[in-house]
Structure formats: structure tokens, C-alpha cells
Structure 1
Amino acid sequence: MKRVKYILLIIGSALVGACSIAAADQIQDPTLNGPLETSVVATVNALNSATPVPPISLPAATQSPSEPLVSPTPSISPTPTPIWADFPAPSRLSSTEIPPPMPEITFGADAVNILLLGSDERPGTGGFRTDTMMVVSIDPAQGTATLISFPRDLYVYIPGWRMDRINTAMVRGGFVMTQQTILYNFGIPVDGWARVNFAGFIAAIDTLGGITVESTAYMSDECRGEILTYRSGVSYNMDGGAALCYVRMRKSGGDFDRMRRQQEVVRALFSKLLTINGLVRIPQLYNQLYNTFVSDIDLTKLLPLVPTAVQIGADPSRIRPFSINRDL
């Protein structure tokens, strides 16, 4: 109630003030002729005659939307396909970048690719490494055998593992990992494999009565306590021990020269095996290799290749050697 009285008092005072200003317009007292009085009268008259300022119209407030604004749905970026595609992903980090897989090479419909592995397994060692890796591709339609050798210390991607030396694949993941390694890095599909250790290699050659190897390059190195020298274009008769020395020495030319000599021995072994003396000794050879030879190749894979093998044995030029070179 006191607040209402206070408001009425203010309004009343304002009305009295307004009436006083209006009455000042009618002052005619001749005594109010001084400068101050004249200025006051002029100010009051000016205020009464001033043009009123029109009210300012403010825009109406925009009504807030009744529905909340819909935020745009973010688009989902596609997940990039890993470079190893259909192969197992690495299980360990690699110090070097993993390359993409090579396109698969198309072979003849009846061609069979066999991976030959020579291991350094010895009795009582408890493990082994693949000292020799070679794919033998036999094509019955062409009547040819192609030898493809791989350096044992070649650094490649091993599917399911990491970047590592190629000769560790067999020990780490068996034939499946080795098969995938060769397919990934070289595009070569492998149908079967065979592995022989040093003892089996020596026994096989001795059972056949030795082999004759034609050297295609000069080499001199020490083996079995003696210096062995071989000259290009010269053929040498070797027993199992001498042949093992020949394929393992690497003082001259390193691994790439070793691969050349390994292919020379395989060609000589292949030719000797398909002679009459070699064929009649196959049962004895099988018994010799039984404990030193491991393979997943059965007779159903080998029998269709016999006519082609005889054809190749009669003409050694049908054996074509290749190797993974330094430029890979």
C-alpha cells in the first residue's frame, strides 16, 4: 500500500510541473524583463513549440521454432583395403614398409609347380633353416622344366608374420606359410613341396653312382679341408660329398653364384635319374631317402609327369634355369 501511495505522489508531482510549464507561456509580467528572466521564458516557449519525436518501432521478435533443428548426419568414410588383400595380415611390426602382393602368374593348365627345399638340418640340432629354395615347374604341354631359384636371405613379406628373410618361412609356419610367401612376393602358385637335408642329398647322389656336373663359371674355394677349383665349360664327376661342397661354397659370388651351381647340380641329378641305371635304382633311392626326405607329393601327382620327365631327360636343353636377381 505504501508503494502505491509513493507512485501516486510521483505522478501528481509530474502533473503539477507540467501545469507550471504551461502557465509560464502566459507570463506577461512587465517586471520580468531582465536577461535571465527573458532567457527562461524563451527556453520554456521553445520546449512547448518543439516538434515531438515519433516513437521508434522495433521489429517483432522472431518466434523460436517449435521443433529442434536437425543436425546433419556425418558421412561414413570407406575403410581402405589393406595392401595384403586376401593374404594373412602381419602379426608383428616390420622395420620396413610391406610391399603390395604381386599379380599371380598364369601357368599351363597341366603344369605342376614343386617347391624343392634343401635344409641344413643335422642330427641333434633341434631345428633347421632352408639353405636352398627352388621351384621346379614342369609343363607337359610344352615338354619343359623351369627352375626358379630364390636367395635364402632375400627380405620379403611373410604373410601372417612380418618382413623377414625368406628362409625363415618354413620353420615359422610350415609349407602353408612358405607357399603363401612365394605367391605373395613372386606371383608363383606352388602345388607341392619336397625337403631334403644334407645327409639325404649325399645319399641320393651316391645311390645313383654319382653325377656329372658341367660348370658354367670359374670358382675356387675350400671345402672338406682342401681347395677345390672349377673352371667354366668343364664337366666334373662328383659323389655326394663333392656335390654338397659344390652347391654350398659361396666365397666366390655369394648366394647368387650358389643358386647357379645348385641349378647345375639339379640338372645333372635329373638327367642321371632318368637314365636306365637311374631308373632301376629308384626303389633303393626311396629307401635311402625315407628318413631324410619329407614331401606332400604323392604318386597321383607324379605319375602323369613321367612321360614329360623322360622327354626332358633326353634333351637337357628343355630345362630352363632362372633366378631372382639383384634388381628385385
Structure 2
Amino acid sequence: MKKSLKIMTIALLSILLVVVSAGCYAAISFQTAKEKSESKLSNKNKGFTGDEQTSDKELTVMIVGNDSRDDDEDQGRSDTLMVAHYDGKTKQPKLISIMRDSYVTFPDGGQDKINAAYAYGGAQMTKDVLKTNFDLPINYYVVMDFKEFSDIIDELYPKGVTIDSEKDINLDGVDILKGKQTLHGNSLLQYARFRMDEEGDFGRIRRQQQVMDALVAQSKDLIPIWELPQVAGKMVGKIDTNVPTSLLIDLAKDFLSGKVNPLKSLSVPVQGSWNFNDYTESGSVIEIDEQQNAEAIKNFMKDN
């Protein structure tokens, strides 16, 4: 009896040692990778105050894609604005894509394109505009530029991402042919950015959602889970975000498990809720019915 107890004690201690060692290895790997990456924390977003989570199983993250190239005449404006919602209980990811030229009301009562919010007041102003127009609560933010997106895709999906391209596309020296193919970081970025056709931003939003859908659907083919701490460290070092590291890793574990449901998407403005207008101080805009779109977002967020 004593011998059995001794064996059991040794076994439990061994398991505990393995768990502690794995935890230490993960923490060191994460921190080392983070320190080697260039920190992207922005003074512009340090004062961000997110809404409290209604549940520790649900979160809503505002994603801002910032085209910060020197030749961009609208430098500092958001090129892409999305809101991602994830319910950890139902394993349901959702994505709201908001067109950059949507003409919205700012907290001071003025109006402008929604992509101007980031230039005026960073992540906080963008969050406030989403709240003012759509009553949309935001817990956290992520801001990244084109290069960061491309690098992260190559880190997480080293074998590339399979996409069925809608059409032949050429943008920034990248040629993508119509049909099913595997795209890596920069090519996937150009596919998601393209809007130089008759559909403009409407087609681009659809392709961005197609890309996000592919990323979720193929997330089970991500890096091995033991590489997650190191890659997570690199990501946190490259992007500007206030999402807690522990939460990022927990989310990644869900997606790596392959048990996450297919992505549900919504484009704003919704059909029948907008008109073009060329006679504003902001130039050509998409005028929207704020109440109709707020209601559509509310119903989308409730639907499981």
C-alpha cells in the first residue's frame, strides 16, 4: 500500500513539474518574441477606454486597418474598419464590415466619413463614433498597417491561405488570377484591398469578408499549438492593441482546436439603407440611415 502511494505521489509530482515547466517555457517564449519585435504601442491610443464585457465568454474587438504610407493624401485615416465579435460559449465568430465612406455623425454633432474618425482621435474617437451611430459596444481595439497584416498572415499561415479569387486582379505589382489558389501574406492583402473596378468599396468589403471567412475556416491548419506563445509574442510586439495577452492566447486555442463555427458576416450600410451624395464638405460619401443600420447590427449580434 505504501509503495503504491509512493508511486502515485512521484507520478503526480512529475506531472506537476511538466505542467510548471511548460508554463514557464510558454511565458519565456512569449516574452522573448515580444521583446525582439518592434513595439507598436501608439501614444495616440494610450487613453482608450473600452466598454466592459457583459460576459467573460464574449468580447467585441474593433479592428482598424491603417494605410500609413507616405504618399497617402489621407494619411492617418482608417483604410479598413471592422468589428469582430466572438462568443466563447457557442464558439461563434461574427464580423461587421463598415464602408470607409459611410457619412456618419460624430460625438460633437458634426458629420464626416467614418474613416476620418481615426485621424481625428485615434481608436477612442472611432469607438465613440460607432457608439453614437450604431449603439455598438466595443471592449478592445486592434490597429495594424498593411505590412503588419502581411507579416502576421505569413507567421500564422506559413503554408498560405486558400482563396477562390472572384476575378483577375492587379494591385501594387501583385497579379492574382481568377480561380482557386493559395495566397501568402502580401498577395492576400492585395486581394482584400482591391477596389479599382465598378463595384468600388462594395466589392472590396465582400472580398475582405471572404478573406476573413477563409482565415477562420482554415484556422485549424495554423501553426502547431506549442509554437503559439512565440508567435503570439511576435504579434503583440507588431500591432497596437489593448487585448490582454492571456485572452489572445485563449482565443487562439479555440481556433486551433478546429471547433469554431463558420464566420457570420454583416456589411454596413445594409441593403436599402444608403444613397450616394457628392455634395458634402467631405466630397463623395455614402449617406446612411443610422437607425436602420443600428437595428440591423443589433439583430445580427443577437442572432446565434
**TM-score calculated relative to the size of structure 2:** 0.62
Q: Structure 2: which 5+ runs fail to align? A: 1-52, 274-304
Q: Decide which structure has greater helix share.
A: 2
Structure 2 residue 91 is the aligned partner of structure 1 residue 143: yes
**2:221 maps to what in 1?**
275
- Determine which structure has more spread, i.e. the larger CA radius of gyration: 1
The 1-side partners of 2:146 and 2:194 are apart by: 14
Question: 1:240 is matched with which residue: 173, 179, 185?
Answer: 185
Structure 2 residue 151 is the aligned partner of structure 1 residue 203: yes
Kept in 2: contact 1:143–1:318 (CA 8 A): no
Kept in 2: contact 1:108–1:139 (CA 8 A): no
Kindly tell me: are residues 298 and 123 of structure 1, through their superposed partners in 2, closer, same or farther at Cα, counting changes over 3 Å? farther
After superposition, the CA RMSD in angstroms is: 3.0
Amino acid paired to 2:188: A
Structure 2 residue 255 is the aligned partner of structure 1 residue 309: yes
**2:41 maps to what in 1?**
none
Return the offset for 1:136: 0.9
**2:110 maps to what in 1?**
162
Structure 2 residue 245 is the aligned partner of structure 1 residue 299: yes
Question: 1:323 is matched with which residue: 258, 263, 267?
Answer: 267
Task: Please show how residues 180-191 of structure 1 align to structure 2 within 5 Å.
Answer: 180-191=128-139
**1:212 maps to what in 2?**
161
**2:27 maps to what in 1?**
none
Cα distance per residue 1:260-287 (max 9 Å; x no partner):
2112222333445543525344345345
The 1-side partners of 2:145 and 2:213 are apart by: 18
Return the offset for 1:203: 0.9
Return the offset for 1:195: 1.0
Kindly tell me: are residues 224 and 280 of structure 1, through their superposed partners in 2, closer, same or farther at Cα, counting changes over 3 Å? farther
**2:42 maps to what in 1?**
none
Kept in 2: contact 1:211–1:269 (CA 8 A): no
Cα distance per residue 1:153-199 (max 9 Å; x no partner):
11111213621111111221122211111122122211101011111
The 1-side partners of 2:92 and 2:174 are apart by: 38
Kept in 2: contact 1:211–1:272 (CA 8 A): no
Kept in 2: contact 1:122–1:198 (CA 8 A): no
**2:63 maps to what in 1?**
116
Identity %: 25
The 2-side partners of 1:162 and 1:194 are apart by: 26
**TM-score calculated relative to the size of structure 1:** 0.57
Q: Structure 1: which 5+ runs fail to align? A: 1-105
Amino acid paired to 2:163: E
Kept in 2: contact 1:156–1:163 (CA 8 A): yes
The 1-side partners of 2:220 and 2:213 are apart by: 11
Aligned length: 217
The 1-side partners of 2:108 and 2:90 are apart by: 36
Kept in 1: contact 2:174–2:190 (CA 8 A): no
Return the offset for 1:227: 4.6
Cα distance per residue 1:8-67 (max 9 Å; x no partner):
xxxxxxxxxxxxxxxxxxxxxxxxxxxxxxxxxxxxxxxxxxxxxxxxxxxxxxxxxxxx
